[in-house]
Amino acid sequence: MNIEENDHFEGEPLLAEEERDVEDAAAESPLFGAKPRHAGFTARFQARKPKTIVLLLAILLFTVTTSGMLVIVPIFRLIEDAACHTYYKKDRSEKIDERLCKVDEVQGLLAYLGGWAAMLNTVIGLIATLPYGVLADR
Protein backbone atom coordinates (compact mmCIF):
# COMPACT_ATOMS: atom_id res chain seq x y z
CA MET A 1 0.00 0.00 0.00
CA ASN A 2 1.35 3.34 -0.97
CA ILE A 3 1.02 6.49 1.18
CA GLU A 4 -0.22 8.44 -1.84
CA GLU A 5 -3.10 5.97 -2.25
CA ASN A 6 -4.06 6.50 1.37
CA ASP A 7 -4.45 10.32 1.37
CA HIS A 8 -7.11 10.35 4.07
CA PHE A 9 -4.57 8.85 6.51
CA GLU A 10 -3.06 12.23 7.35
CA GLY A 11 -5.62 14.41 5.68
CA GLU A 12 -8.92 15.61 7.05
CA PRO A 13 -10.06 13.88 10.28
CA LEU A 14 -13.00 11.51 10.04
CA LEU A 15 -14.87 13.24 12.89
CA ALA A 16 -15.55 16.94 13.15
CA GLU A 17 -13.92 18.75 16.08
CA GLU A 18 -17.18 18.89 18.10
CA GLU A 19 -17.75 15.16 17.62
CA ARG A 20 -14.17 14.41 18.72
CA ASP A 21 -14.67 16.45 21.91
CA VAL A 22 -17.86 14.52 22.70
CA GLU A 23 -16.09 11.18 22.08
CA ASP A 24 -13.14 12.22 24.28
CA ALA A 25 -15.45 13.27 27.12
CA ALA A 26 -17.38 10.01 26.89
CA ALA A 27 -14.17 7.99 27.05
CA GLU A 28 -13.22 9.46 30.45
CA SER A 29 -13.93 7.24 33.43
CA PRO A 30 -16.69 8.24 35.87
CA LEU A 31 -14.33 7.34 38.73
CA PHE A 32 -12.21 10.40 37.97
CA GLY A 33 -14.93 13.00 38.07
CA ALA A 34 -16.41 12.95 34.56
CA LYS A 35 -20.16 12.71 34.21
CA PRO A 36 -21.50 9.28 33.28
CA ARG A 37 -22.21 8.74 29.61
CA HIS A 38 -25.73 7.45 30.24
CA ALA A 39 -27.31 9.36 33.11
CA GLY A 40 -30.59 7.47 32.98
CA PHE A 41 -31.97 4.69 35.12
CA THR A 42 -28.66 2.94 35.84
CA ALA A 43 -26.85 6.12 36.96
CA ARG A 44 -28.26 5.90 40.48
CA PHE A 45 -26.77 2.41 40.91
CA GLN A 46 -23.26 3.49 39.95
CA ALA A 47 -20.64 3.46 42.70
CA ARG A 48 -19.33 6.97 43.26
CA LYS A 49 -17.31 6.65 46.48
CA PRO A 50 -14.29 4.44 47.17
CA LYS A 51 -16.03 3.10 50.29
CA THR A 52 -18.90 1.85 48.14
CA ILE A 53 -16.52 0.03 45.82
CA VAL A 54 -14.74 -1.59 48.77
CA LEU A 55 -18.10 -2.63 50.24
CA LEU A 56 -19.20 -4.17 46.94
CA LEU A 57 -15.91 -6.05 46.64
CA ALA A 58 -16.27 -7.31 50.23
CA ILE A 59 -19.79 -8.55 49.50
CA LEU A 60 -18.57 -10.27 46.34
CA LEU A 61 -15.69 -11.92 48.23
CA PHE A 62 -18.07 -13.08 50.98
CA THR A 63 -20.47 -14.55 48.41
CA VAL A 64 -17.74 -16.41 46.51
CA THR A 65 -16.18 -17.75 49.72
CA THR A 66 -19.55 -18.88 51.09
CA SER A 67 -20.41 -20.72 47.89
CA GLY A 68 -16.99 -22.41 47.96
CA MET A 69 -17.55 -23.52 51.55
CA LEU A 70 -20.97 -24.93 50.70
CA VAL A 71 -19.34 -27.16 48.07
CA ILE A 72 -16.95 -28.60 50.69
CA VAL A 73 -19.77 -30.14 52.78
CA PRO A 74 -20.86 -32.81 50.25
CA ILE A 75 -17.24 -33.45 49.23
CA PHE A 76 -16.30 -34.27 52.84
CA ARG A 77 -19.37 -36.49 53.14
CA LEU A 78 -18.26 -38.43 50.04
CA ILE A 79 -14.72 -38.78 51.44
CA GLU A 80 -16.14 -39.92 54.77
CA ASP A 81 -18.31 -42.49 53.00
CA ALA A 82 -15.30 -43.81 51.04
CA ALA A 83 -13.22 -44.05 54.24
CA CYS A 84 -16.09 -45.81 55.99
CA HIS A 85 -16.43 -48.38 53.19
CA THR A 86 -12.68 -48.97 53.33
CA TYR A 87 -12.71 -49.35 57.14
CA TYR A 88 -15.58 -51.86 57.15
CA LYS A 89 -14.27 -53.57 53.96
CA LYS A 90 -17.63 -53.37 52.23
CA ASP A 91 -18.41 -52.94 48.55
CA ARG A 92 -19.11 -49.37 47.41
CA SER A 93 -22.59 -50.37 46.26
CA GLU A 94 -23.59 -51.41 49.79
CA LYS A 95 -25.20 -48.73 51.92
CA ILE A 96 -23.65 -48.04 55.32
CA ASP A 97 -25.49 -46.20 58.07
CA GLU A 98 -23.91 -42.80 58.68
CA ARG A 99 -23.74 -43.42 62.43
CA LEU A 100 -21.29 -46.25 61.82
CA CYS A 101 -18.93 -43.80 60.08
CA LYS A 102 -18.51 -41.75 63.28
CA VAL A 103 -15.97 -44.13 64.81
CA ASP A 104 -12.59 -42.69 65.80
CA GLU A 105 -10.64 -44.51 63.07
CA VAL A 106 -12.77 -43.12 60.22
CA GLN A 107 -12.93 -39.63 61.71
CA GLY A 108 -9.17 -39.71 62.38
CA LEU A 109 -8.51 -40.55 58.71
CA LEU A 110 -10.88 -37.77 57.65
CA ALA A 111 -9.08 -35.28 59.93
CA TYR A 112 -5.70 -36.47 58.58
CA LEU A 113 -6.81 -35.94 54.96
CA GLY A 114 -8.31 -32.56 55.86
CA GLY A 115 -5.03 -31.51 57.46
CA TRP A 116 -3.07 -32.48 54.36
CA ALA A 117 -5.54 -30.60 52.15
CA ALA A 118 -5.20 -27.45 54.29
CA MET A 119 -1.41 -27.71 54.28
CA LEU A 120 -1.27 -28.15 50.48
CA ASN A 121 -3.64 -25.23 50.01
CA THR A 122 -1.40 -23.03 52.18
CA VAL A 123 1.82 -24.10 50.46
CA ILE A 124 0.36 -23.50 47.01
CA GLY A 125 -0.86 -20.08 48.17
CA LEU A 126 2.61 -19.20 49.46
CA ILE A 127 4.29 -20.35 46.25
CA ALA A 128 1.80 -18.51 44.03
CA THR A 129 2.15 -15.26 46.01
CA LEU A 130 5.54 -14.39 44.58
CA PRO A 131 4.62 -14.57 40.86
CA TYR A 132 1.34 -12.72 41.48
CA GLY A 133 3.24 -10.03 43.40
CA VAL A 134 5.70 -9.61 40.53
CA LEU A 135 2.82 -9.37 38.05
CA ALA A 136 1.06 -6.81 40.25
CA ASP A 137 4.18 -4.63 40.34
CA ARG A 138 4.23 -4.48 36.56
Per-residue pLDDT tens over the stretch 18-28: 555 555 555 55
Write down the mean pLDDT value for the chain.
80
* Count of beta carbons in the 10 Å neighbourhood of residue 83: 19
Q: Which helix (H) or strand (E) holds 54?
A: helix 50-88
pTM value > 0.95: no
- Looking from the CA of 82 toward its CB, the CA atoms found within 13 Å total 9
The mean pLDDT of 105-131, rounded to a whole number, is: 93
* 25 neighbors 34 (Cβ within 8 angstroms): yes
Q: Is 84 exposed, middle or buried (0-12, 13-18, 19+ CB in 10 A)?
A: buried
Q: Which helix (H) or strand (E) holds 131?
A: helix 104-137
